[in-house]
Amino acid sequence: MSQEPLQGNEAERKRRIAALALGAIGVVFGDIGTSPLYTMKETLGTHGMTPTPAAVLGVLSLIFWSLVIVVSLKYVTFVMRADNKGEGGIMALMALAQRSMGGSARARWVLAVFGIFGAALFYGDGVITPAISVLGAVEGLQIAAPSLDRYVVVIALVILACMFALQRHGTHIVGKAFAPVMTVWFLVLAVLGVHQIVQHPQVLKALNPWYAIEFFVSHGKTSFIALGGVVLALTGAEALYADMGHFGKKPIRLAWFFFVLPALLLNYFGQGALLLLDPKAIDSPFYLLVPGALLYPMIALATMAAVIASQAVISGAFSMTREAMSLGYSPRMAVVHTSREMSGQIFVPWVNRLLMVLVFLAVLGFRSSANLGAAYGIAVTGTMTMTTLLALVVARKHWHWNWLSVVLVGILLLSLDLAFFGANALKIAHGGWFPLVLGVVLFTMMTTWRRGRELVVREIKQGGLALAPFIENIAEHPPLRVPGTAVFLTANQNAVPHALLHNLKHNKVLHERNVMLTVDTLETPVADADERIEITPMAGDFFGLELRFGFAEDPNIPQALSLCNRSGLPFDLMDTTFFLSRENIVADERRPGMALWRDKLFAFMARNALPATAFFQIPGNRLIELGAQVEI
């Protein structure tokens, strides 16, 4: 009798995993799934390459073994083990690696540099993916109707404009169509590939790694340049890890090994078989696989797949921005939740506008997927390298691998990452500069914001009065007390908040109960219930209160205060007033810390950041803000 419920639970668990795997096909694999649109063309059709039989087999072998080693072994098997309480992505990995290092400030700073630069390059990926995917799909019109060639860029811009306009409505609007569309897409990829492989089965010889080695021996420097095209087959690998928190490891692994990987390989080998039969097909090997009568439906399907691929990367940029804000690497911005069921489905208006402008500039500047291919690789390989370095730290410090294992795995993975990065570095003059410049700008802004906040906190702590003697003095010389609770947001629990001093100085009153509130962000995605709240009673009805949130959470102070009732500090929000000091940042070259231009950059970002009150969701009718000038 007891066996039946267990069997029922097991069947339900399998159905749930299957449903998650289907959802992952629609969301996680869009980017890597649209790579066949341009990879073979970019690798064999540019940089002086000729699609000879030896070159075709060599490139196919490189693509096959790159997908096996980099995506299957590195990301799906190795990196996805490094989950930060179920969350993935380079910012979550950075936080996990920093936590593994303990209190070593220098080591944590180095890891932060790796993580921030990888994240900055990921934003470059978020710009180039929509541009190259949509352009690559629409370029099928050049095959179906060559006269429409002049309209490719315009059509791509219209599609992208519609896509960015829909972002504010949330991914759930088109999310229901994601899985069916991408399932059909991968099935079509497989069928097209099988149809061509059957006609020329000799292409399967490329499964032998010797053809990749022979390609390097016979083509010399050109083979190294070709790696910059091969890496396009790996774009989207970071998304497998970044979206792990939404679907879980097992569903993503099942979808990859049993559906997505076979479909991709069949299509790549199908394109290779076509090129063995007709080298002139290098002009558009993907679309020339398609029967003429089905070309327009295929262009429509490819465009939908490209939009889905773009959607996944844009959503990833939104999520990474929220994590960067919580971890202190980005100014506060408005975050809109677009789903009541999924907290991860968010919309960041400022990021959406910036991405749209940059994507438009990329399309207008590069004008073709072939030109964008040169820019794409730098962003992808840079992020991949940073991910490998952080994952190796986690393997050593968190999983306690021995040094030999770490070194051997590191040599294998970093040799591939750096080879791909080096190959793309040769394209810097031809477009690779674009994501590098974007990455350096974002890296500078993120590190400046982090350092600037540290300097502001330092100045506040140095200029503040000690809280304990202040409370003793209040007891000896009590001011007029008014009913209610005053909550003072402060970065230092041991100093008197500026807002409290200003209130006492100008209004000559003190509330019956005064709470010094500090909000901390943890290096885990979600705070555990037992670490969420810490209350420290003080004399004279003063209380210290620390609220802790995970970096993937939205800090909601009123909601958190309602939980304090269980801890013996009840709050009636209608009888509570929040006091906050709004700092006016002044750049002063005489102050140590940062260069003057960085001080001014930080002051500019601080002026344009979302107010802390809105970020912490404090009701405006319960708030009093008092100004304070801070020189850095």
Rounded CA separation 552/120 (Å): 18
Find the farthest-apart pair of alpha carbons in the chain and give their distance in angstroms, rounded: 95
At 139-159, the pLDDT tens digits run 888 888 888 888 889 999 999
The single-letter code of the amino acid at 551 is F
Q: Write down which residue in 431, 450, 479 finishes a domain.
A: 431
pLDDT for position 1: 44
Strands 480-489 and 509-521: parallel
Residue 338 three-state SS: coil
pLDDT for position 170: 63
Rounded CA separation 156/138 (Å): 7
Residues 416 and 491 in one domain: no
The answer to whether 101 touches 107, Cβ cutoff 8 Å, is yes
Helices and strands of the chain, counted as H and E runs: 25, 8
Identify the bridge partners of residue 545 per DSSP, sorted by sequence position: 517, 535
Q: Is the predicted pLDDT of residue 7 greater than 70, yes or no?
A: no
Q: Is the predicted pLDDT of residue 342 greater than 60, yes or no?
A: no
Residues 500 and 394 in one domain: no
| Structural domain boundaries, residue 195 | 19-121+170-293+369-431
Q: Is the predicted pLDDT of residue 2 greater than 70, yes or no?
A: no
pLDDT for position 448: 94
How far is the first Cα of the chain from the last one, in angstroms, to the nearest whole number?
72
Give backbone dihedrals phi and psi of 628, rounded to 5 degrees, phi first: -150, 130
Identify the bridge partners of residue 513 per DSSP, sorted by sequence position: 485
Q: How large is the average pLDDT for residues 266-286?
A: 93
Residues 401 and 521 in one domain: no
CA-wise closest residue to 610 among 350, 296, 323: 350
Angle, CA 627 vertex, CA 623 and CA 632 arms, to 5°: 130
Q: Is the predicted pLDDT of residue 47 greater than 80, yes or no?
A: no
Q: How large is the average pLDDT for residues 506-514?
A: 88
For the stretch 163-166, contacts whose Cβ atoms lie closer than 8 Å and that sit 24 or more positions apart, written own/partner, are: 163/130, 163/134, 163/307, 163/310, 163/311, 164/314, 164/352, 164/355, 164/356, 164/359
pLDDT band at 175 (very low <50, low <70, confident <90, very high): low
Residues 488 and 418 in one domain: no
User: Would 153 be classed as within a structural domain?
Assistant: no
At 539-593, the pLDDT tens digits run 888 999 999 998 888 888 999 998 888 778 888 888 899 988 877 788 777 777 7
Residue 484 three-state SS: strand
User: Would 496 be classed as within a structural domain?
Assistant: yes
Q: Is the predicted pLDDT of residue 268 greater than 80, yes or no?
A: yes
Strands (E), 88-238: none
Q: Write down which residue in 431, 456, 475 finishes a domain.
A: 431
User: Would 331 be classed as within a structural domain?
Assistant: no
Q: Write down which residue in 410, 431, 452 finishes a domain.
A: 431
Residues 507 and 384 in one domain: no
Q: How large is the average pLDDT for residues 370-384?
A: 84
pLDDT for position 174: 53
User: Would 458 be classed as within a structural domain?
Assistant: no
pLDDT for position 393: 94
Residues 75 and 191 in one domain: yes
pLDDT for position 176: 63
Q: Output the average pLDDT for the chain.
A: 87
Q: How large is the average pLDDT for residues 505-523?
A: 88
**Reported pTM:** 0.84
User: Would 223 be classed as within a structural domain?
Assistant: yes
User: Would 90 be classed as within a structural domain?
Assistant: yes
Query: Per the structure, how many domains does the chain have?
Result: 2
Residues 481 and 426 in one domain: no
Q: How large is the average pLDDT for residues 110-133?
A: 89
Residues 99 and 199 in one domain: yes
pLDDT higher at 52 or 625: 52
Residues 502 and 387 in one domain: no
Percentage of the chain exceeding pLDDT 90: 38
At 405-457, the pLDDT tens digits run 999 999 999 999 999 999 888 888 888 888 889 999 999 999 999 999 888 88
Q: How large is the average pLDDT for residues 318-341?
A: 82
User: Would 407 be classed as within a structural domain?
Assistant: yes
pLDDT for position 124: 86
Q: What DSSP string runs through 220-263?
A: THHHHHHHHHHGGGGTTHHHHHHTHHHH-HHHHHHHIIIIIHHH
Per the structure block, which two tokens stand in for 194?
Answer: 């099988």
Residues 117 and 204 in one domain: yes
pLDDT for position 6: 47
pLDDT for position 249: 87
Residues 415 and 482 in one domain: no
At 225-242, the pLDDT tens digits run 888 889 999 988 888 888
User: Would 318 be classed as within a structural domain?
Assistant: no
Give backbone dihedrals phi and psi of 394, rounded to 5 degrees, phi first: -65, -40
Residues 91 and 222 in one domain: yes
Rounded CA separation 492/496 (Å): 8
Q: Is the predicted pLDDT of residue 106 greater than 90, yes or no?
A: no
pLDDT for position 300: 92
